[in-house]
Amino acid sequence: MKKKILISTGGSGGHVIPAITIYDHLKFNYEILISTDLRGFRYLNKENYNYIIVNTPKLNNLFLLPFSLLKVFFLTIKSLIILKKKNISILISTGGYMSLPLCLAAKVLSIKIYLVEPNMVLGRANKFFLNFSEKLICYSKNLINLPNNFEEKQTIIKPLIRKKYYEINKYHKDDNLFSIVIIGGSQAANIFDTLINEILANISRTRSLKVIHQTNEKNIDLLKNFYKKNKIESKVFTFDQKLDELLKQSDLCITRAGASSLAELSLLNIPFIAIPLPSSKDNHQYENAKYYSDKDCCWIIDQKNFDKQKFEELLVKISNKKDDYLTKKNNLEKLNYQNSWNNVNQKLLEIFNEN
């Protein structure tokens, strides 16, 4: 009889993508159930995953905190019932406040807890549950904010990347058309929808560009009209399940610095300009980008000190696809040497088959 595993996730794609990737790695060896809140639910393909909803409230509003804690208490009771009824033997948490009720319930029931930290900074929820966990699965030994007495719990794996990204065929395109993908994800901002596209319009007057631009629903028509007016070939979209098909057409990506997004770009050998979200907790987006920058695989732009002229100069330089650009592309290829779905799969099976 297969062991039963519950994966707790929710919130942003940065939490959900590692969760569904683990699900796909383990589904043939274990009976898997995934838990998410309503925010994370939109990232799930409902037909492919066995899921439940545990809609944990945010705990960042002091006025509503007593009500939120009361809800967490009742959700913990609900989680106790779920874990017992489903006969769960392992809980995997991808971090965040969403995991609180299930991790508390798992602790009460003495169910083994495995923590997954995709960022380069240990999240607060994961740090809170470190003492109760079997292992902390992460991508680097140099995890920031990890207490020294828990280093032995670290297990290092290659980044959790969806299988379809390993299966992408190389796209052959006209090198005269420099293609740029702009992905702000769920944390897009004004800088992606106004400043950058104005800069691209300036550059397009001297060289041919193609722009693939992710934005909020309310900005779709605005950006479509902007690119049409400036005679720039473009595709503007909000959320696309086939982003991988769009990424493979690109020479460069301008992006936030979520761990999953950067790992996917890295695997595809697409050099990127990271503009970390300034308000990310513990500045984890900057640290995610710095991991690649230290290996000379990307450029990092500080949003707070954004300089339009310097950014335009950088894009013009990159669009020549020489020197620095080629170095970063080559370094990305080296970084992902022997990175395969099967290798990650075997590593995960080793971790969960240990006990």
Mean pLDDT of 31-46: 92
Cα 128 → chain centroid? 21
Span 184-242, pLDDT tens digits: 754 556 788 878 889 999 999 998 999 999 888 888 899 999 999 999 999 998 876 67
Which residue, 154, 158, 123, 159, is CA-closest to 141? 154
The correct answer on CATH 3.30.465.10 for the domain covering 4-158+339-353 is: no
**Could you tell me the pTM of the whole model?**
0.92
Give yes or no on whether 4-158+339-353 and 166-335 have one common fold: yes
The residue extents of the domains of the chain are 4-158+339-353, 166-335
Q: Is the pLDDT of residue 67 over 70?
A: yes
Cα 169 to Cα 298: distance, rounded to the nearest angstrom = 23
Tell whether the model's pLDDT for residue 287 goes beyond 60: yes
CATH number of the structural domain 166-335: 3.40.50.2000
CA distance 108 to 136: 19
If you average pLDDT over every residue of the chain, what do you get?
91
